[in-house]
Amino acid sequence: MTVELGLDTFGDRTVGLDGTPTPYPQVIRDVVAEAELADRVGVDFFGVGEHHRDDFAISAPEVVLAAIASRTERIHLGTAVTVLSSDDPVRVYEKFATLDAVSNGRAEIILGRGSFTESFPLFGFNLQDYEALFEEKLDLLHALLAEKPVTWTGALRPALQDADVFPKTANGLRAWVGVGGSPESVVRAARYGFPLVLAIIGGQPARFAPYVDLYHRALAQLQQPDLPIAVHSPGFIADTDEEARELYWPGYEAMNNRIGSERGWPPVTRDRYEAEIEHGAQHVGSPETVAQKIAETVRSLGIQRFDLKYTSGSAPHEHLMHGIELYGTQVIPRVRELLAAEEPAA
C-alpha cells in the first residue's frame, strides 16, 4: 500500500523552554523552520491552518506557504484548511495558482468551513449563511479549477460572465475538501469530484469507516473516478511514550479547556487524555508507538494519506522540531514497513 505521510500545524502559539509565551512573529518564523526540517527528513506534505484568533499565529496561510516554498525543494504545501466560506473563490484560486508557480507545482488546497467562526464577522459574513456560503463558493471554485472562462451565478456572491482568471498553472491545482464527519459533507465532496480529508480529532479512527464507505459509494453512483482519502489527526512524538505524554499534556489541557470554556465542554481530565491516546485519535508516543497507530488508522480506513497535526497548544518549538525529525527518520519508514509487510496477505 502506497501512503503519503504529512504534517499539519495551525501555528499554535508556543512557549519557550522557560515557559515564556513566544511572540507571534517568532511563531511564524518557527513554522517555516519546522517545514524546512520536514522537507529534509522526507515528509510528503506540510499543511498550515487558517485561524483568526489569539491561540494561533497564522491568519494568512498562503503567505507562510510561499515563504516555505522558497526554502524547500520537494515537500507538497497546502492549507489545513482554507476557510472558503469567508474567502472569495477567485482570490483563493489566484493565490494558490501563484503558490503553485513559486513552488514549482507543489501547491495544494484543503477546502473547509473551519471549526471556528471568527472569520465570519471579521470579513462581514452572516453566520446564518454558514452552509449556503460554503456550498455556493465551493461550486464556483470547482468551476475555476478547470482554468477556463467561467460564467456563474449565485445568490450570495456577484455573478461572473465569461471570466478568465490568472495565472494559469502548469498542471492544475490539487484541491481536497476537509470534513468533520457529516454525511452531507462527504457526499458533497464526491459530487464535485474532490478528494476527501477526514478530520478525526476524537474517538476511535475506525468509527469513521462508514464515511469512507459512503464516499466510495457516492463516487460510484455519481460516476466519478475513485479518489484518494486522507486523515488529519493530532499527535506528538518524543523518544519514549512517557516523555511524549508528559510533554504534550500541559498544552493539550490548556488548549482544550480554553476552547471548551467557549463551547460549554467540561474540563478535560488526565484520564480522558490517556484514554484518547490508548483508544482514540491522539497519536502520541515514541516513534514505534505512533507508527503502529498510524499504520492501524491507514489499515482500518484504507486511506491514501495521513497528516499528523503535530502541534496542540503551547509545546516549545524545540520539542516540535525533535518530533518532526523523529517523524521523518523513524515513524515514516516504520509505517511503510508495517504496511508493506501486510501486502502479500492482502
| β strands within 283-339, DSSP E | 283-285, 305-309
Asked whether residue 345 carries a pLDDT value surpassing 60, the answer given is no
- pLDDT class of 313 with cuts at 50, 70, 90: confident
pLDDT at 343: 66
The pLDDT tens digits of the residues spanning 124-151 come to 999 999 999 999 999 999 999 999 999 9
| Span 34-65, pLDDT tens digits | 999 999 999 999 999 999 999 999 999 999 99
| Non-local CB neighbours of 22 within 8 Å, separated by 6+ positions | 13, 14, 15, 16, 30, 317
What is the per-residue pLDDT across 157-194, written as a single tens digit (0 to 9) for each?
Answer: 999 999 999 999 999 999 999 999 899 999 999 999 99
Q: How many CB atoms lie within 10 A of CB 121?
A: 12
Residues contacting 345, CB < 8 A, separation 6+: none
Residue 298, CA atoms < 13 Å, CB-side half-sphere: 27
Q: DSSP characters for 57-105?
A: S-S-HHHHHHHHHTT-SS-EEEES-EEGGGS-HHHHHHHHHHHHHHTTS
Q: Indicate the domain borders of the chain.
A: 4-342
Q: State the Cα angle at 58 between 137 and 291, rounded to 5°.
A: 95
Q: How confident is the model at residue 152 (pLDDT cuts 50, 70, 90)?
A: very high
Q: Identity (one letter) of the amino acid at 25?
A: P
> How far apart are the C-alpha atoms of 205 and 187, rounded to whole Å?
19
Q: Which residues contact 193 (CB under 8 A, 6 or more apart)?
A: 142, 224, 225, 227
pTM of the model as a whole: 0.96
Q: Phi/psi at 97 (nearest 5 deg)?
A: -65, -35
Tell me how far apart the alpha carbons of residues 339 and 1 are, in angstroms, rounded to a whole number.
6
Longest distance between any two alpha carbons in the chain, whole Å: 60
Q: Write out pLDDT tens, residues 252-301.
A: 999 999 999 999 999 999 999 999 999 999 999 999 999 999 999 999 99
* Separation of alpha carbons 10 and 27, rounded Å: 10
C-alpha cell at 212: 469512507
What pLDDT sits at residue 2? Answer: 83
Give CA 15 to chain center in angstroms: 23
Q: How far apart are CA 5 and CA 43, in angstroms?
A: 6
Q: Please state, rounded to an integer, the average pLDDT across all residues of the chain.
A: 96
The reported pLDDT for the residue numbered 85 is: 97
For strand 76-79 and strand 45-48, is the pairing parallel, antiparallel, or unpaired? parallel
Distance CA 71, CA 68 (A): 5
- List the grid coordinates of 151: 460564467
Q: How far apart, in whole angstroms, are the C-alpha atoms of residue 94 and residue 39?
A: 25
CATH 3.20.20.30 fits 4-342, yes or no: yes
pLDDT tens for each residue of 213-265: 999 999 999 999 999 999 999 999 999 999 999 999 999 999 999 999 999 99
Question: What pLDDT was estimated at residue 344?
Answer: 55
What are the percentages of helix, strand and coil residues in the chain, rounded to 5? 50, 15, 35
pLDDT > 80? residue 346: no
